[in-house]
Amino acid sequence: MIRSFRKFFTFVESQKHNWYLGIFYEIIRCVLEALQFVALFVVLDGLVHDSITTQTAIISFGIMLASVLGTILFWDLAHAKEGEGSYRTCENKRIQIGNRMKYMPMGYFNSHSLGNLTSVATATMSDLESMAFVVIVRTLVGVIHAVIFSLAMCYFNWKLSLIFLLGVILFMIINTMLLHCSRRLSPKRLEAQTKFMDAVLEYIQGMGVVRAFHMVNQSNSAMGKTIEETQKKNMLLERRRIPYIAAEQIVLRIASAAAAFCSIALFINGTLEMTYCLMILVSAFMVYSQLESAGEMFFMLSMIDASIDRVEEINQSPQIDIDGKEQHPARLDIEMRDVSFAYGDKKVIKHVSLVVPQGTTTAIVGPSGAGKTTLVNLIARFWDVDSGSVRIGGIDVKDYKLDSLMKNISMVFQNVYLFPDTIENNIKFGSPNAAHEDVVRAAKAARCHEFILALPDGYQTVIGESGATISGGEKQRISIARAIMKDAPIIILDEATANVDPENEAELQKAIKALTQGKTIIMIAHRLKTVKNADQIIVINQGKIAQQGTHDELIKQAGIYADFVGMREKAIGWKIKADNLA
């Protein structure tokens, strides 16, 4: 139990003061609550000695009133601090997770499921938010309350006080066994919860495929299995804790009964006054009141432990922006020196060296799976190279702060992601303080102003998640407008026109021309008219540079590029449409 509390108070970091102050108020509340026994003692003493007077009633009432009002006051103060500590802690941790994810290598997201990250940021943090406030306080205060009241019994008889303390000790021994059981099962519960989150996300994201292939029943079955597994883990936890909780309650009841029995025996022997005997009989089953109610919550300490471990696992994940500095390079040429990179054991880039002079256009072509996208992602430092170096302006990208690096780079992806927000906010995502006029100017340059105005609320139209309510070509043009707003000197285009229909392509090409004017451009493309005017063409095959040169140079050489142009069809994983070669 001590280990769990220590881990928790380490976890809360800057909110320790709120928690410590809240617990301090709880201790005062326990002491004030104990005053009710003093009021009771005054009345019992008056009854035993037949000395009840108005003054006795006033004193008893005054003590009870002070106890009740003080208890209410410090209960309110304690809950205010504990509540603030709980919610602020979870707020800070969510922000920490979000900030850390911005600087994780993209490989982390490949090796860790989206469900795991989603589960930690939502369900796990919600568990901590709701459980920590109740469990940590109630368990800790339950023990403190029982100890304070047990020690208070020393006033009547120290032997009886020892009986009450013995009950607390036996309770804690059983509780330790309970926590060991919980520590074995809590991680499995969280694992089931993560699998359930994975299944939900997979079910939602794959709904189109599920319907297209009439696999609704099978998908429902898979979802049902994860729900059933989650239910089993939760039920197992509940079943395993019942014997321990029953044992704890029995121990406390026996201790209370033993104290009551001993008080009567001591009174009969003449070693305990009647007043004291009556006080013990009345209070015997109240000493453990809060410890009994807290008993069921001790089991959840291990759940909090496991939840903290899951959160800290993400907060201890690798970052790629540890030693970087704010850089302001005098030039913006790009150089790769003997770069190699692998996804796990699969080597994708093998000893690649190339130079992209400032202000030029470089086209990267090659078969599907050759490593083209990985290559440009290494430039943007989505991953760190395994060997060699990537340099911008003569400075290794590892020496840049990530924000400093990305100020110089805009990327337009084949699969565009738009946020479920207004179109205007999506366009100025990288420039949140931009004026509306600047947004309109970028939209016009990206050839999307007209279709935006045709929408119900114009620039304030809220688009669906990932831009689901507009067409693919419109999403691409909005993403180009976003890149124009950023106005970075280096532009990376990752097959930005690959999935666009002919009607949108002409507009998209105009938008790309506006975006790339006077920039350093690296483009991945399969369409001949997109690449043939590039200053240099890099042909990638099996992670290596197979050919390099201009269109006129490469067309004369036997090899992949000549096959690409000459055959006008799929060659080594490519497909060229005849209308693109006209």
- Count of positions (residues) in the chain: 582
What mean pLDDT is predicted for residues 452-462? 87
The backbone torsions φ and ψ at residue 73, rounded to the nearest 5 degrees and listed phi first, read: -60, -50
Averaged over 192-209, what is the pLDDT? Answer: 65
Mean pLDDT of 216-222: 60
The whole-number pLDDT of residue 581 equals 37
Q: Max CA-CA distance within the chain?
A: 120
Place of tokens 């490469």: 554
pLDDT value of position 70: 92
Tokens 């070693």 -> residue? 271
If one compares 165 and 307, the residue with the highest pLDDT of the two is: 165
Q: Which residue has the higher pLDDT, 468 or 328?
A: 328
pLDDT, one tens digit per residue, over 111-149 is 555 666 777 777 778 777 777 767 777 787 788 878 887
Q: How far apart are CA 376 and CA 492, in angstroms?
A: 7
Rg for the chain, CA atoms, rounded: 35
pLDDT digits (tens, 9 = 90+) for 48-97: 877 788 888 899 899 999 999 999 999 999 888 888 888 888 888 888 88
Q: Could you tell me the CATH superfamily of domain 326-408+536-582?
A: P-loop containing nucleotide triphosphate hydrolases (3.40.50.300)
Res. 335: pLDDT tops 80:
yes
List the chain domain ranges: 2-315, 326-408+536-582
Q: Which residues are 356's β-sheet partners?
A: 334
Looking at residues 155-170, what average pLDDT do you find?
Answer: 85
Handedness of CA 323, 326, 328, 334 (dihedral sign): positive
2-315: which CATH topology?
ABC transporter transmembrane region fold (1.20.1560)
Q: From residue 76, give the alpha-carbon distance in Å to each of 25, 69, 80.
A: 9, 11, 6
Res 576 pLDDT > 50: no
Q: What is the DSSP letter of 314?
A: H
How far, CA to CA in Å, does 17 sit from each of 31, 128, 226, 399?
Answer: 21, 18, 40, 38
Average of pLDDT values for 531-539? Answer: 85
Predicted confidence band of residue 300 (pLDDT cuts 50, 70, 90): confident
pLDDT of 571 > 50? The answer is no
According to the model, what pLDDT value does residue 72 have?
A: 93
- pLDDT band with cut points at 50, 70 and 90 for residue 573: very low
Eight-state DSSP code of residue 535: S
What would the mean pLDDT of 498-517 be, rounded to a whole number? Answer: 67
What pLDDT band is residue 249 in, cutting at 50, 70 and 90?
A: confident
> Quick check: 366 and 539 in contact, CB under 8 A?
yes
pLDDT surpasses 60 at 570:
no
Distance CA 181, CA 142 (A): 21
Token pair of 337 as six digits: 């020196």
Q: Decide if 324 contacts 395 (C-beta within 8 A).
A: no
Q: How confident is the model at residue 213 (pLDDT cuts 50, 70, 90)?
A: low
Q: Are 485 and 431 in contact (CB under 8 A)?
A: yes
CA of 227: how far to CAs of 184, 199, 221, 233, 307, in Å? 21, 9, 10, 10, 20
DSSP string, 237-249: HHHHHHHHHHHHH
Residue of 290, 279, 262 lying closest to 171 (CA atoms): 290
Q: Is the pLDDT of residue 43 over 60?
A: yes
